[in-house]
Amino acid sequence: MPIFDTHAHYDSSGFNADRDAVLAALPAAGVELVVDPGCDVKSSRAAVALAGAYPHVYAAVGIHPEDCGGCTEADFDVLRELCRHKKVVAIGEIGLDYYWKENPPREFQEQVFRRQIELALALDLPVIVHDRDAHGDSLRVVLDYPGLRGVFHCFSGSPEMAAELIKRGWYLGFDGPVTYKNARRAPEVADVTPLDRMVVETDAPYLTPVPFRGKRNDSRYLPYVIGQLAAWKGVTPAEMERRTFENGKRLYGLE
C-alpha cells in the first residue's frame, strides 16, 4: 500500500545530517510520494532542487506568513519562475499566523497571502494554506476567491469551518497531533470530513506522532496518523492509506 506525505519539509536544516539517506529510504518504507513546500524564496528553491533529484518528491513554492516580513514583488517573480519546473505542484505554504507576537503585522500577512493566491489562480495551481490562530480571517480570505482550490494544512479549525471548506471543494490535512491524547477537535473534524477529502502529512521535521513525539519526524511515521484516522472513520488502515494516497494525487494533479 502506498503512502503520500502531502507536506514535509525535507529542505529543512533538521535534515542536514542525513537528508539523502532519509529520502532514499522512503520508497522501501511504502512512502511513494512526498510534497515539500517552501517557506521563503530560499527554501522554495531548495524544495524544487529536491524534487529534481528524487522521482518520488514534488515541490510547492511559497512564502510562509512567519517568513514574509520584507518580501517584495521581486520575490513573487522568483516564485512564478520556479513554477515553470514541471514538479512544482502547488503554491505554499502560505497563509496567516497570529500565534507568534513577533510575526509580521496581520495586514501585511494578508496582503502577501492574497498576492500568492492570485499567483496560484493565474497558474491554475492549488494552494497549501497555513492557518494558525487565524481561522476567521483565513476563511474570509479564501472565500473571496471562488475558483481557488487546495488544502488547509494541519487543519485546526472547528468542525463548522471544516464543513464550510469541504462544501467548497477543499481538502483538509491531518498530522501527528491527531495521535496526541489531548486531541479534542480533531476527532470532530474527522467526523465531518468525507473520506475523499482527507490527506495525511508529517510537516516533518515537526509534529511527530505518538509514540515518537519529541523525536524528529519523517514520512515513515505516517502510519500512526493513518491508523488514528482509520479508527475514527471506521475503516481499515489499508483503506485509509489508499484513500489518502488517491486524494493527495487528486489534490496536486498527479493522476
With CB atoms as reference, the residue minimizing the distance to Zn ion is 203
Q: Closest distance between Zn ion and the C-beta of residue 9, in Å?
A: 6
- Separation between Cα atoms, residue 54 and residue 21, nearest integer Å: 12
Where in 175-204 is the site for Zn ion (CB under 5 A)? 203
Report in angstroms how near the CB of residue 236 gets to Zn ion at its nearest.
28
Under rule CB under 5 A, how many of the chain's residues touch Zn ion?
A: 1
Give min distance, CB of 182 to Zn ion, in A: 21
CB of 61 to Zn ion, least distance (A): 13
Which residues, 202 to 221, sit near Zn ion by CB under 5 A? 203
C-beta of 5 vs 203, nearer to Zn ion = 203
- For 94-120, b/e burial (b = at least 16 CB within 10 A) is bbbbbeeeebbeeeebbebbebbbebb
Give the nearer residue to Zn ion in terms of CB position, either 203 or 233.
203
User: Phi-psi region for residue 154, left (φ > 0), alpha (ψ -120 to 50) or beta?
Assistant: left
The interface mask with Zn ion, positions 226-255, x = CB under 5 A, is: ------------------------------
Under 8 Å CB-to-CB from 231, ≥6 apart: which residues? Answer: none
- Give the gyration radius of the chain's Cα atoms: 17
36 binds Zn ion (CB under 5 A): no
Name residues contacting Zn ion, limited to 129-148 (CB under 5 A).
none
- Nearest by Cα to 232 from 202, 193, 191, 201: 191
CB of 27 to Zn ion, least distance (A): 22
CB of 34 vs Zn ion, minimal distance in Å: 13
Q: How near is the Cβ of 26 to Zn ion at its closest, in Å?
A: 18
The CA-to-CA distance between both ends of the chain, in Å, stands at: 17
For Zn ion, which is the closer residue by CB, 65 or 104?
A: 65
Identify which of residues 39 and 190 has a Cβ nearer to Zn ion in the complex.
Answer: 39
Q: Cβ closer to Zn ion: 69 or 237?
A: 69
Closest CA to 38 of 29, 47, 27, 26: 47
Choice between 11 and 203, CB closer to Zn ion: 203
Q: Which is nearer to Zn ion, 97 or 110 (CB)?
A: 97
Residues that bind Zn ion (CB under 5 A): 203
